[in-house]
Structure 1
Amino acid sequence: MAKETIQKKVFLEIVQQLRQLIQTEKIQAGEKLPSERVLSERLGVGRSSVREALRSLELLGLIETRHGGGTFLATTHKHQLVEVLSMFILEDERSKKDVAQTRQIHEKEAIRIICSTKEMRTSPVWESFFVKLEIEGTVNCRDILREIMITSGNRLALKIWFQLAAYDGDRLNRQSTEDEKIMIQTLLKSLELGYQQEALKAYGQWMKHLDNQGGVKRGNT
């Protein structure tokens, strides 16, 4: 097993243990969590690993760190949505399919918004990606999807997308292959022209290709 895969597995196990500890000890919103040292001893892992897991939970909005005061479970109204998302993300292997499908729902809606909005369609970023593909033959897959989400202008959807994409990192954060070139170019050109059906079709073909490459199998999206 690759080192990066092992580290990711260990990290997710620590986060899962932290969530179980919060549930077992019935730590309520606003209450203080044990210190890094105590968590390290109780979970049987290094403090640096605990610190990394806590930072991730803080980014998700599940906990909050107060300078000089320690770490606290975030108030319910702040983290209720991301708590639901994180439960799906961390629960089991089957949930990876749910994460990918949820991420794609946001991406498809962003494509629809862009195709129906002239200012978004005419953004120079689409042509720059297209030219990069022509000259260099490859682009970063995650960069394109991120720009689609940013350009669509929905800040909440973008925040949710970043969290979902983080758990699909190995498949998304890589350079495109020759097999994907036509699919991506068709998507980019369709975005520029506002051809919604063509853009969604090219996007669907690209995602199906990514799923096959990454071993995630599902029905038509």
Structure 2
Amino acid sequence: MENSRPSSKRFLDIVADLRTIIKEEGAVVGDKLPSERMLADRLQVGRSTIREALRSLELLGLIETRRGEGTFLADYKKHQLVEVLSTFILQNPQSLKGVEDTRRIHEKAAIECISNDPERRTLPVWGSFLVKFQGPDPVIREELLQEIVVISGNRLSLKIWFLLKQYSRVPYHEAMAEEEKEVASNLLKEMMNGNSQLAVRQYTDWLDIVKGERRGEHEC
């Protein structure tokens, strides 16, 4: 019988756990990864959850599945989309603004998608974020945005977003300030209520705060 716990564990936690396992196993490009059943038992989640996490890692070119053989660690550097994007940026530094604009398009589309989907907008993960925003522990910016893009369900958009994020000037890896948490909370509340336009407006306000912070750093 498949474990029924995945709803209590966020998708990003699963992906992070998988990456930790890969690191602990000392896997190198070409090595075979543990089976879905073994991973599900090890992480105490359902196989369907593991399967979806593996699909997303494969989508990013981090792993590859060979029919009848299993799942193997891939060489992400050979991923053509990575090469195309990096070449585009290196040839024209001004295109960084285009990268940010395109990234925002994908993030807004994901917010709208979730807002308009009764099932996605009522997932318990959003309530978990609201609770976390009220607590003392830091919330990394990337955690929320990545969860939104993942749950929107557009795998191609997720793949492009991950790549755009690598070249973005937004400090995704940093923790939210208290002001950001308040706006991000409003974003989630509007999204959960199905108010896509208001949710997108809160998203824009949030990134404006981050943009102002970055500008202030440059002026120092």
TM-score relative to the length of structure 2: 0.58
Q: Check the 8 A contact 2:114/2:120 in 1, yes or no.
A: yes
1: CA distance, partners of 2:98 / 2:198: 25
Q: Matched residue pairs, number?
A: 144
Partner of 1:143: 143
Q: Which runs of 5+ in 2 are unaligned?
A: 1-59, 63-74
2: CA distance, partners of 1:194 / 1:89: 36
Aligned ranges for residues 66-215 of structure 1 at < 5 Å? 79=80, 81-136=81-136, 138-168=138-168, 171-215=171-215
1:174, CA displacement in angstroms? 1.1
Q: Check the 8 A contact 1:142/1:173 in 2, yes or no.
A: yes
Larger CA Rg, structure 1 vs 2: 1
Change (3 A) 1:97 1:169: closer
Q: Which runs of 5+ in 1 are unaligned?
A: 1-57, 61-70, 217-221
Q: Deviations over 1:116-160 (max 9, x none)?
A: 101100111111111001112641100100000000001111011
Q: Check the 8 A contact 2:100/2:169 in 1, yes or no.
A: no
Q: Percent identity?
A: 41
Aligned ranges for residues 41-60 of structure 1 at < 5 Å? none
Change (3 A) 1:140 1:134: same
Amino acid at match of 2:181: K
Secondary structure in 2 matching 1:136: coil
1: CA distance, partners of 2:183 / 2:110: 18
> How large is the Cα RMSD of the aligned pairs?
2.7
Q: Check the 8 A contact 1:111/1:152 in 2, yes or no.
A: yes
1: CA distance, partners of 2:116 / 2:161: 21
1:195, CA displacement in angstroms? 0.9
TM-score relative to the length of structure 1: 0.58
2: CA distance, partners of 1:178 / 1:123: 24
Change (3 A) 1:196 1:136: same
2: CA distance, partners of 1:83 / 1:154: 22
Q: Check the 8 A contact 1:184/1:206 in 2, yes or no.
A: yes
1: CA distance, partners of 2:158 / 2:120: 16
